[in-house]
Copies of this chain bind each other. A is one copy, B any other.
Amino acid sequence: MPKLSKTECTASLKAVGDALYVIGGKWKLRIIIALLEGNKRFNELQRTVEGISARVLSNELKELELNGFVNRNVYVKTPVIVEYELTKYSETLEKILQSLSEWGTMHRKKLKLGGKK
């Protein structure tokens, strides 16, 4: 990995800090991955993202909506159906999701092989 100059380091810290501020934390990227399978209702989403509580999922979805990653669609039927779907903007996260997914797979293999740790 190339060394960074002081200026590059400061810029990178700021940019990664900005990114983590919006999509960091334990759940947001996982909720987005769950929606990559297709639009989902709240309960389906909670089942797919294992371990998340309803309260936390509800908050995370509000933040994801606010930041333009998720649309909340309400279908006025009886009963009312609420479905979450990814926006076009969520596609900008593709490289991040891909690199994290590849890294996670590689790291797990390495641990199994009994490498460092």
A75 located at the interface, meaning its Cβ lies under 8 Å from any Cβ of chain B in the complex: no
Whether B117 and A66, one on each chain, are in contact in the complex, defined by CB atoms closer than 8 angstroms, is yes
Q: How large is the interface on A (under 10, 10 to 19, 20 to 34, 35 or more residues)?
A: 35 or more
Q: Which residue of B lies closest to A51 (CB)?
A: B17
Q: A24-B24, A96-B100 are in contact. Are A107 and B18 (CB under 8 A)?
A: yes
Besides the known contacts A6-B37, A12-B97, 5 further A-B residue pairs in the complex with CB atoms under 8 A apart: A1-B94, A4-B37, A16-B100, A92-B106, A93-B103
Task: Spell out A's residues near B (CB within 8 Å).
Answer: 1, 3-6, 8-9, 11-20, 22, 24-26, 29-30, 33-34, 36-38, 48-50, 66-68, 86-87, 89-108, 115-117
